[in-house]
Amino acid sequence: MKSARLLLIAALTLLATGAFAQSDMHKPSDPPALSDAQKSFEQLKTLAGTWTGAVTATPPQPDWNNAPVQVTLRVTSRGNALVHEMRDPTTPDDPTKTDHPVTMLYLDGDHLTLVHYCDAGNRPRMVARKSADGKTTEFDFADLSGGNENGHMYHAVFTFIDANHHTEDWTYLMPGDKPVHAHMDLRRAN
């Protein structure tokens, strides 16, 4: 009788172990960890909205010193792209007559990519790298479509300060590869 009880307990233990193992097989697995590119993109999407501030340039450029700037960011394409637009808020919103560059940010495989549709008539493409502290996303030049006779955008850095404050640093290579660095200190307008 005692051996029958032990056999019954052993059988129930095996059945229970098998049932738990099977139930674990049907549990959804944890979602895969986000790559650095995905983390950077999700963080950049938190900038959606309108931002205002001032732009300064190094070396100094005519009419740039503390000039007002407005940046609008909008998540689009079901969350797969971020549209970034820059403009001078003191001029009429007419992109056919005033500077109004548009930049698209999107994930391309495991890379966060930026394409800048420049007023110079070209489209530089840059690829991101994230800082160790997670507060900066930096874009390095990859290639250029379109002409280069007027120069092209070469580098971009987004620095997160808090939910209502960030900076953007853009480097433009003038003809002859002379860099002009523009720094924008931006506060959330809405």
Residue ranges covered by each domain of the chain: 36-188
List pLDDT tens digits, range 59-76.
Answer: 999 888 899 999 999 999
Strand pairing partners for 12? none
> pLDDT of 114-142, one tens digit each?
999 999 999 999 999 978 888 999 999 99
Q: Is the confidence at residue 101, as pLDDT, over 60?
A: yes
The pLDDT, as a whole number, for residue 87 is 93
pLDDT of residue 27: 60
> What is the pTM for the complete model shown?
0.82
Where do runs of H (alpha helix) occur along 26-148?
36-45
Q: Are strands 152-162 and 178-188 parallel, antiparallel or unpaired?
A: unpaired
26 Ramachandran zone, left/alpha/beta (phi>0; psi -120 to 50): alpha
The whole-number pLDDT of residue 80 equals 97
pLDDT at residue 17 in the model: 47
Q: Rounded CA gap, 126 and 97, in Å?
A: 26
Chain-wide mean pLDDT for the chain? 87
What pLDDT is recorded for position 51? 98
For tokens 């002409």, the residue is 147
pLDDT digits (tens, 9 = 90+) for 1-43: 555 554 444 444 444 445 444 545 556 678 889 899 999 999 9
Are 184 and 167 contacting, i.e. CB atoms less than 8 angstroms apart?
A: yes
In angstroms, the Cα distances linking 137 to 52, 57, 155 are: 20, 20, 11
Interior angle at CA 142, CA 170 and CA 105, nearest 5: 60
CATH architecture for segment(s) 36-188? Beta Barrel (2.40)
The pLDDT > 90 percentage for the chain reads 70
